[in-house]
C-alpha cells in the first residue's frame, strides 16, 4: 500500500481483518486505503497534498486523540500520529470524533466533536483547534465548546465547514436526525447571526437524515450529503440533495453510497476530494469488513464519484481495488 510508520494494536487488528483480500492492482491504493480502525474521514487538500483526518474508531472512552494521513497521489499514505490530543482540549473527556479541517490566512483549523453530550446539562459539543501546519500539533482555540448546546433538536456533533464563494464561512452540523447551519465568525471563535437574524437555522433535508452532513458547490448548485441508518449496522449509507443556496431548501434525491454484500457493509459518513486540475471527484468514506459485527471496526476507503449530464451524482460502486494514483504535483 505504499504506507509507512504504522505500528500498534490497531494496525494488527486491521491487517488481520483484511488479510484475505487480494493485493490491489498496480497503481491502485486498495481499500481500505490505510490499516487501522478509522471512521468519519474528513478529506482536504493542502499544499498539493491529499489529507485524511478520521475518527479513531474505538470505544467512546478510548477516543482521546486524532491521527492524520497524507498522500501525494491517493496511493502512498503516511501516518501523522496524535495531531490533536485530548490533553490539549481542557474541556474534553472522551468521544473525540468527526473532524473538519480548513485553512485560513496561513493557519489550519481543526473542528471536532467531544464528550457525546445527551443534554444541555453536560459539558461538550463542537470545538475548534488551531495549528501552523496541516500535521499539527493542534491546540484548542477558545478553551470551551464553540457550540455546546442543542438547537432545533440537533445534537452538536458531525460538523462540516463550508466556505462559500462570497467569502462567508458556514458550519453545517447535527446528529439525532436534525441538521443546522450557522455562520462562523471570521476568526472562528464563535457564530454570528445571518442576514435575517437567525443564528441556528435548521436545514434538515429529509426525515431519513441521521448525521454526517457535508456541503460542496458545483456549477452554481449546492450539494448537501448526509448519512442515513445506524452507524454500527450494515445499512449505514449516504444520500444527497441539491439546492440553490447553502440555506436550502434541500429536497432528498436519493442514496448514492451503500453496502455491497460482496465487498463491505455499512458504507457511510463521507467526505469528498475535488481535484481542480482534471475536475475529478472522489468520495472518502468508512465501511465495515464483511462478516465483522463489531460496530467500531470501521475502515477508510476511497472511490471515484461521477455526475450525469444534469449534475446528479451517480451511484457509487464500492470496491476492494480502490482508485488509481492521481498526483497533485507534476
Comparing C-alpha atoms, which of 174, 197, 41 is closest to residue 183? Answer: 197
Over residues 249-281, the pLDDT tens digits come to 999 999 999 999 999 999 999 999 999 999 999
* Strands 280-289, 264-275: pairing kind: antiparallel
Query: What is the rounded CA–CA span in Å between residue 222 and residue 44?
Result: 18
Q: Return the half-sphere exposure (C-beta side, CA atoms, 13 A cut-off) of residue 315.
A: 7
* Strands 139-140, 160-163: pairing kind: unpaired
Q: Is the peptide bond before 60 cis (omega within 30 degrees of 0)?
A: no
Query: What is the rounded CA–CA span in Å between residue 270 and residue 316?
Result: 12
Strand segments (E) across 258-298? 264-275, 280-289
Q: Give this prediction's pTM.
A: 0.93
Between vectors from CA 316 to CA 276 and to CA 318, what angle results, nearest 5°?
Answer: 110
Confidence check: pLDDT of 12 > 90: no
Q: Quick one: cell of 9?
A: 494494536
- Sequence-ordered list of residues with C-beta below 8 angstroms from that of 84, at least 6 positions apart, any chain: 65, 66, 96, 99, 110, 112, 129, 136, 137, 138
Q: Quick one: cell of 201?
A: 437555522
Stated as kind and residue range, the H or E segment containing 256 is: strand 251-257
pLDDT of residue 1: 43
pLDDT of residue 24: 75
pLDDT confidence bin for 22, thresholds 50/70/90: low
Over residues 151-210, the pLDDT tens digits come to 999 999 999 999 999 999 999 999 999 999 999 999 999 999 999 999 999 999 999 999
Confidence check: pLDDT of 243 > 90: yes
pLDDT confidence bin for 23, thresholds 50/70/90: confident
Residues pairing with 38 in the sheet:
56
Query: What is the rounded CA–CA span in Å between residue 49 and residue 328?
Result: 7
| Contact of 66 with 96, CB cutoff 8 Å | yes
Query: What is the rounded CA–CA span in Å between residue 13 and residue 7?
Result: 11
Q: Quick one: cell of 222?
A: 449546492
Residues serving a catalytic function are 40, 211
Confidence check: pLDDT of 3 > 50: no
Amino acid at each position: 500500500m505504499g504506507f509507512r510508520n504504522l505500528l500498534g494494536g490497531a494496525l494488527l487488528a486491521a491487517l488481520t481483518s483484511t488479510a484475505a483480500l487480494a493485493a490491489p492492482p498496480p497503481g491502485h491504493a486498495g481499500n481500505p486505503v490505510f490499516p487501522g480502525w478509522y471512521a468519519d474521514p474528513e478529506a482536504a487538500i493542502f499544499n498539493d497534498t491529499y489529507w485524511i483526518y478520521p475518527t479513531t474508531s474505538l470505544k467512546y472512552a478510548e477516543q482521546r486523540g486524532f491521527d492524520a494521513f497524507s498522500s501525494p497521489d491517493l496511493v502512498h499514505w503516511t501516518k501523522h500520529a496524535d495531531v490533536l490530543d485530548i490533553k490539549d482540549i481542557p474541556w474534553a473527556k472522551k468521544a473525540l470524533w468527526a473532524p473538519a479541517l480548513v485553512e485560513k490566512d496561513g493557519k489550519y483549523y481543526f473542528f471536532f466533536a467531544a464528550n457525546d453530550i445527551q443534554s444541555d446539562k453536560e459539558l461538550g459539543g463542537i470545538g475548534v483547534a488551531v495549528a501552523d501546519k496541516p500535521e499539527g500539533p493542534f491546540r484548542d482555540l477558545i478553551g470551551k465548546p464553540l457550540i455546546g448546546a442543542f438547537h432545533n433538536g440537533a445534537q452538536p456533533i458531525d460538523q462540516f465547514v463550508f466556505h462559500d464563494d462570497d467569502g462567508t464561512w458556514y458550519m453545517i452540523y447535527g446528529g439525532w436526525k436534525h441538521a443546522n447551519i450557522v455562520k462562523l465568525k471570521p476568526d472562528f471563535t464563535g457564530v454570528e447571526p445571518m442576514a435575517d437574524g437567525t443564528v441556528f437555522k435548521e436545514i434538515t433535508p429529509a426525515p431519513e437524515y441521521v448525521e454526517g452532513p457535508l456541503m460542496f458547490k458545483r456549477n452554481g448548485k449546492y450539494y448537501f450529503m448526509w448519512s442515513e441508518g445506524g452507524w454500527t449496522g450494515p445499512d449505514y449509507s449516504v444520500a444527497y440533495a441539491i439546492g440553490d443556496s447553502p440555506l436550502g431548501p434541500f429536497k432528498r434525491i436519493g442514496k448514492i453510497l451503500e453496502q455491497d454484500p460482496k465487498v463491505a457493509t455499512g458504507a457511510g459518513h463521507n467526505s469528498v476530494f475535488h481535484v481542480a486540475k482534471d475536475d475529478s471527484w472522489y468520495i472518502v468514506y468508512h465501511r465495515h469488513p464483511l462478516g465483522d459485527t463489531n460496530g467500531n471496526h470501521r475502515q477508510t476507503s476511497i472511490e471515484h464519484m461521477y455526475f450525469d449530464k444534469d449534475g446528479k451524482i451517480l451511484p457509487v460502486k464500492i470496491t476492494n481495488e480502490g482508485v488509481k494514483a492521481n498526483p497533485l504535483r507534476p
